[in-house]
Structure 1
Amino acid sequence: IVNSSSNPFLIRRIEELNKTANGNVEAKVVCFYRRRDIPSTLIGLADKHAKDLEEEMETDSLQQLTEKQQHQLKHRELFLSRQLESLPATHIRGKCSVTLLNETEAVFSYLEKEDSFFYCLVYDPQQKTLLADKGEIRVGPRYQADIPDLLKEGEEDGRDQVKLEAKIWDTDNPLTDRQIDQFLVLARSVGTFARALDCSSSIRQPSLHMSAAAASRDVTLFHSMDTLHKNNYDVSKAISALVPQGGPVLCRDEMEEWSASEANMFEEALEKYGKDFSDIRQDFLPWKALTSIVEYYYMWKTTDRYVQQVNVFVNKPNPNQINVNSTVAKSAMVNGAAVPGQNGGAGRACESCYTTQSYQWYSWGPPNMQCRLCATCWNYWKKYGGLKMPTRLEGERPGPNRSSANPHGYWVKNANPKFTLKTRQAFCLQTTKLTKIARYFCRSLFHTRQSARRPFTPINSAAIKAECECTFLFDQCLRVTSSLPLSPPSGLGLCSATVKRSGTLPSGRGRKFLYTAHKAF
């Protein structure tokens, strides 16, 4: 499924197709996520699960893969989710195969199959969790029936025979098969004559052929056999029951009870909702009972209308026959990719396979990197969400486009400023005056060199700040300093001057500051 001209295709599983009010078709899908779609914090869990799974399988199939095959195998791994989405059916671009990881199958078999993926973990986008999707072996009294012991000869089972099923046909009856068949032919004849007498049946089945076909349906045969059983297989009494005093008995099934308009509504509802008979009854046929709808469905499957719909479905074009390459090329044009004949990135190789020859080039990656892909690698990127070979953007190998190769065999910097990477912005950390003073007068609590050598040891800044404020009382010191004479005694400086230059004064000046503060008090 396509959602962007530059991003890879989305992998979704179609649950149902619904027709909207304006005639468009929407697909309700289940989301599958690639490795690039889940948070980086969960990638480690996925790798750990893959390692544990390999140990359980007791095979070295992953070790037999090359570095390139291991890189491409990550692109075939998906993560199932329980999240449902609705999107237009026009976004569908093709069909792929997603299966649960088979522990008995070699992992490199997934690389040999085109458009084939596997999954073994379930990703929850809301909770940001990964869980293993393992089936449960349903063994126990909750899933299996408790088989009672075999009864001895002559022992009663203790069940209430009244609550058991009622016998509607006895195979040990006195009639022969020929007599039973003759009675069934007579019952069909009575049913045909009853439809000739019924006005509504004459309108629905105007010809004798249609009336005879309707009388030969199962509902007539079941009624005749039930009548024969109730009369203890006495043919004369059974015939009298088929033709009572008021006229012949007419037996109809749901196929005869439904009108042509109701049948068309049922087919339309079945196309929209599938076999969800509750929704069909609620939205299309509220005057019909649920049992009638279910019975009509199984009778409808025996008609020619059902066979015609099956043939139409079988003759539909295969979604795999959609030309994905043309769709991708069209998307690339919208994204601003180079067209055949243009060489906007002339001289730059493909970021994946390093080729410099391609009938089509596509922009890829951050704009400042000036990367591009050939047509083959672009098609791989759209399908599998990665590159055939590891790229420098993934931190796995250096690329040839970062610098230009020298014929002598060493690498020199590209002189073109167009390909120069953007440098990071510099910053300056400026400390407060109180912090600078604390470096000199709180050495009992804080040692600069020792703390620098132990960067992970925490510093109790609150205790240092309290020590400075309680010992030196800066605010009071500054107020007293303002009342001192302008010309201080020889060898002593003003507190204001000491505080102003405390960041550069040596330790001796600090002692003078302390002495001046005590003299002021």
Structure 2
Amino acid sequence: MAANMYRVGDYVYFENSSSNPYLIRRIEELNKTANGNVEAKVVCFYRRRDISNSLIMLADKHAKEVEEESETTIEVDLTDKQKHQLKHRELFLSRQYESLPATHIRGKCSVALLNETESVLSYLEKEDTFFYSLVYDPSLKTLLADKGEIRVGPRYQADVPDMLAEGELDDREQAKLEVKVWDPDSPLTDRQIDQFLVVARAVGTFARALDCSSSVRQPSLHMSAAAASRDITLFHAMDTLHKHNYDLSSAISVLVPLGGPVLCRDEMEEWSASEASLFEEALEKYGKDFNDIRQDFLPWKSLTSIIEYYYMWKTTDRYVQQKRLKAAEAESKLKQVYIPTYNKPNPNQISSNNGKPAAVNGAMGASYQAQAPLIGRACESCYTPQSHQWYSWGPPNMQCRLCASCWIYWKKYGGLKMPTQTDDDKLSSSQPTEESHVRTHMSRQATQGTPVRNTGSPKSAVKTRQAFFLHTTCWTKLARQVCKNTLRLRQAARRPFVPINCAAIKAEYADRHCELAGNPLKIKSTRKPLSCIIGYLG
């Protein structure tokens, strides 16, 4: 029962498609609609597969910089499989909100800000655990470091200098040191100090009555007196008293110079009503993200001014009224909702427990029959030939399938358990997607080569996402020269979904092997090594 209760603040899986991975969201609100359904207002998290390759490269660069700056090694010695699966656990926070039906929730998960002091293996050891360190803006297509980063570690600690001995010379720069602004051991009593502060507030009230702009903003005497009683007036009075060595007569004369009484105004008085409305609107959108508030709503204000205004605004009646209004709205919202476990059969299932194939809808929406070639086909992820349940995956004409455990992994983490990229492909920061894995499998069957994205070629920048070249093996090159009658590679490339008759190729090779036994073929390498290409490009 507790596992099916979902509350505000929970990280959950949402299913928007039977064949795509789950969406990962954080519940912000649970609202009941007019027709009785429950909708969840959620914060969106994005996976690596959801953003462009250029941003993924930027994210990897940021991770390297963080690791280099850290005194402790974040990236421990991981296997290729662990590195591959760790990418499935990385998310990108966004400021985007959306409303989704609560009935599409498929379970809970955990998302945390990347902790530099914790081993990355801890995220792999726990099920349904993800991490994030960057914020993704889907409209601007940008990645930024999360401003909520908790700086933990020895490099963020202050260096406290040793205490100077009595009579020791101080070689520090005096202008950068703190200045004493108040002496608690002054000759004045508390009563005398309070009387001086009353005089300062009275002078402030009189100064506002004489000032035209202040009289417009505080039309009544009560409002002027309240504004004169704020901290800015008291700070000025105490600072004046300290500068005049706590001489009351000298300090009072400074409060009212020849030009008129001194007027001290803080941010609450300096801001206009329209600026205050803009600030409240920005605070509703961004929260306490003062940099974004200044950039998008109040660029003519300094960051210090905005922060000071925020803490003064929290002491006003308007803030109290808004807080009460939000509390009343929260009372009308749902605190939690019960969503039963989703147990309907997935339309991607292609066989039942007894292993008999059935007619189903494919992963891409087309219908086909799970025929004989599919029965003995291994899982595309873990390559196991047996499973109590199979799921169709990839384009229907490829008839690829995943076992039950790999299908659950695909739905939760958005990738396959086993890495399918080669060492050259790992240089590319792009994450293997469903389409790229199917193309890899197709190319491997067609030519028994190793598919690699052409990351070293200048032309690759203008190619589509589906473009790749085949880095063929020696056996494939040998088969091209020996089996010219059977292996017509150009015709096969034009019809990529038609399987190649490997048995005929083997038979022709066996027939010609005896002829070429005394005169072995020499395999010429037509592709230059990558080092030569890099040297040529400079």
TM-score, normalization by structure 1 = 0.48
- Quick check: which has more Rg, 1 or 2? 1
Q: More strand by proportion, 1 or 2?
A: 2
TM-score, normalization by structure 2 = 0.46
Instruction: Answer 1 or 2: higher relative contact order, Cα 8 Å, separation at least 6.
Output: 2
